[in-house]
Amino acid sequence: MKSIRNPVVIYVDSLARDFLIASVIKNILEKNGFKVFFVSRLTYIPVLKYLRPQLFIIIKNFLKNFEDDVVKYLKNSDVFVVDAEGAMTAERCEFHFKHFGLDVTKTVGVVKKAFLWNEEFAKFLIDFYGADKEKLVVSGSPKFSLSRYIQD
């Protein structure tokens, strides 16, 4: 069986919303020698069972609970989250957590880097979930932040 060096798996939660961002990240990584695979809600578990990525990038709403069934496959992977539905204020965060029973403790514990839309959301994750400030990068909207890598 042929081995794949430097595998990266990018989880694309919503094709319409996230594919542009995923494609830009894929192009940057491939230029740097990585082999990149896209997965979806339907394909990520079968792929992770057979391909243990060096890097697992999740492009989705950070507030969605991290899938329990995926954590066991990521023990030796770096996990990055690109928050796809950001711009959360403290009030909106509290509302989501109180009314929807969200718990991002597992996500905070597994993620090596999270790219967030604003300082308010980063502060919320630090204050309420003990997130490590060094793991949080406030980058704004990923579509705008990554647009500088799009070439004509």
The Cα 27–Cα 35 span in angstroms is: 10
DSSP string, 110-146: H-SEEEES-HHHHHHHHHHH---GGGEEE---HHHHS
What pTM was estimated for this model as a whole? 0.86
Strands 55-60 and 78-83: parallel
Q: What's the pLDDT score for residue 152?
A: 44
Question: What token pair was written down for 105?
Answer: 């403790």
How do the pLDDT tens digits run along the chain, 152 residues long? 566 778 999 999 888 888 988 999 999 999 999 999 999 988 998 999 888 899 999 998 877 766 677 788 888 899 999 988 776 777 888 887 788 777 777 788 889 999 998 898 899 889 888 899 999 999 887 766 666 655 54
Q: What's the pLDDT score for residue 23?
A: 92
Q: Which residues in 13-149 belong to E strands, given as ranges?
A: 35-39, 55-60, 78-83, 113-116, 136-138
The dihedrals phi and psi of 116, each to the nearest 5 degrees, come to: -115, 165
